[in-house]
Amino acid sequence: MSLDLGAVGYQTEPFSFEYDFKTTILYALGIGCTENDLDYLYEGRGPKVVPSFAVVPAYSALEPLVRKAGADMTKVVHGGQSITLHAPIPAAAHLKTIAKIEGIYDFKRLSQVVFSTQSFQKDQLIFETEWMLVVRDTGGFGGPRPPKNRIVKLPGDQTPTFQKRETIPKTQALLYRLSGDLNPLHADPAFASSVGFDQGPILHGLCTFGYVTRALVAGACGGDPSLLRHLNVQFKKPVWPGEVIKVEGFEADQTTVALAAYADERPEAVVGGWAEVLRP
């Protein structure tokens, strides 16, 4: 299936996402919160909302936009994700979200499709997201290369400013999928094997994204999610439920944190990225 370059610039009508505290608590459990994170799990304390929840209202737009771009979902791999926060995410809200196809780019053997969303509560922009999807076996169509984005490199031998290590429960993907990503790759061993993952269903990239966000808020924001302004990551390697994930953060400058996450002591990072934060 060839990609439809004419779809670039396509924008959806606003679609609704209404939720309450149970939705945000379920999401928090899905990205590893425990009794030690009661502020995110108990409505008597708000609850607070993990900033990576910003991806959840966009789930319903994802498949229609992939189809609009002419991509085959079986060839799509999540390559990168960003969120930008303009206000604290409410524990309960009725949001309106607009999604847009920002670009379709040529990488010779692969292509890249970039989507964005904006979510509003009434007339206030609460958060934005950007999704970078890699589509296998669709490159070489003579299309443009993507624009250059900011890159924040990890320092050479600097000691991490913070480090958080957690064991991912073996049931984590089964719990996370209840927040909206029902791809069988994360639940069905036979399906996972059929697409090359004989070890079993992999963890959702956005579940790993949630673990990284939690570590960032705890380590660089003093536990205050309202201090996170922007987070941009690239998914480099799969993660499996049951593995130990280690997230490290390094102070790049006064407001920028470089990030890397590792799984089960594998030497290569499974996630890399950076964030902009306000200091507590």
Q: Note the pTM of the prediction, 2 decimals.
A: 0.95
Return the pLDDT at 151.
86
CATH of 1-149, one of 3.10.450.50, 3.40.50.740, 3.10.129.10, 3.30.70.560: 3.10.129.10
**Cα separation of 279 and 255, whole Å?**
7
Please tell me the predicted confidence (pLDDT) of residue 145: 86
Average pLDDT over residues 170-196: 95
**Helix, coil or strand: residue 269:** coil
User: Using one digit for the tens of pLDDT, what is the confidence trace for 104-120?
Assistant: 999 888 899 999 999 99
From the centroid of its chain, how far is CA 236? 13
Yes or no: domain 150-280 corresponds to CATH 3.10.129.10: yes
Residue with token string 């847009």? 100
Instruction: Provide the 3-class DSSP secondary structure of residue 203.
Output: coil
Asked if 116 contacts 130 with a C-beta cutoff of 8 angstroms, the reply is yes
How many residues does this entry show for the chain?
Answer: 280
In the chain, where the domains are located: 1-149, 150-280
Angstrom distances, CA of residue 99 to CA of 21, 58, 64, 268: 24, 8, 10, 33
Q: Does this chain's domain 1-149 share its CATH topology with 150-280?
A: yes
CA distances from 60 to 67, 101, 112, 195 (A): 12, 14, 20, 24
Q: Give the list of residues 6+ apart from residue 31 with CB closer than 8 angstroms, or none.
A: 50, 52, 176, 207, 210, 211, 213, 214
Please report, rounded to a whole number, the percentage of residues in the chain having pLDDT higher than 70: 100
Under 8 Å between Cβ of 57 and 180: no
Show Cβ contacts of residue 239 under 8 Å, excluding neighbours closer than 6 positions: 168, 202, 203, 208, 245, 263, 270
Distance CA 9, CA 169 (A): 40
Q: What is the pLDDT of residues 237-269, one digit of tens each?
A: 999 999 999 999 999 999 999 999 999 989 999
